Amino acid sequence: MAKAKKDFSDVNTDRLYSTIAAATAEPEEQEVPAAGEDPGEQEAAAAAGDTAEHEVQEEHPARSPYKPRREYTAQEKQEFLQMMKSSGRKGVKLPRINMAFAPEVYEYIQTMARVSGISMTDFVNLAMKEHIRNHEDLYNRAREFRDSL
């Protein structure tokens, strides 16, 4: 028995399409007056046919309405590249384990990873690295003991 196809012809999608068009439209270029220049003078010069001021203005792009991109330090770039190694890229395989967590621990990891803006894997890796730094002497003694066997 075949299902009947639904008819959506009477659904008004104009508002949806206009919202999408507005969101994806290129921002309008706005002329930015030079420092110390009155915007009214620029409009008057343009109306009078004086293009010298207008040509100089075109050489400098208009300010973008978007927020400028953040500049990252070398250390932040290095940390990001280290995090990318665990993202399953082709040819990059890190050791993996399957772990079971108590529900409250799992919820903590999930919540804190989201708050930090990183994946759960990265959050656990950072927590383990901090633990290693705090217990480095014990870890080194355990490795020495293991290697002596």
CATH number of 99-149: 1.10.1220
Residues sharing a CB contact under 8 Å with residue 108, sequence separation 6 or more, in sequence order: none
Express each pLDDT in 45-92 by its tens digit: 555 555 544 454 455 556 666 767 778 788 887 777 776 665 566 666
What pTM value is reported for the model?
Answer: 0.41
Express each pLDDT in 88-138 by its tens digit: 666 667 788 899 999 999 999 999 999 999 999 989 999 999 999 999 999
pLDDT value at residue 100: 95
Q: How many CA atoms lie within 13 A of 38 on its CB side?
A: 4
Confidence of residue 33 (pLDDT cuts 50, 70, 90): low
Place of tokens 């772990």: 99
Q: How far apart are CA 95 and CA 72, in angstroms?
A: 28
Q: How much is the average pLDDT of 27-36?
A: 58
Q: How much is the average pLDDT of 32-45?
A: 56
Dihedral (Cα; 78, 84, 90, 94), 10-degree rounding: 90
84-108 burial: b if 16+ Cβ within 10 Å, else e: eeeeeeeeeeeeeeeeeeeeeeeee
Amino acid identity at 60 = H
Q: How far apart are CA 149 and CA 142, in angstroms?
A: 11
**Residues found in the chain:** 149
pLDDT value at residue 53: 47
For the chain, the distance separating the N- and C-terminal CA atoms, rounded to the nearest angstrom, is 71
Going by C-alpha positions, the residue among 126, 92, 129 that lies closest to residue 109 is 126
| Token pair of 105 as six digits | 């621990």
Residue ranges covered by each domain of the chain: 99-149
Confidence of residue 145 (pLDDT cuts 50, 70, 90): very high
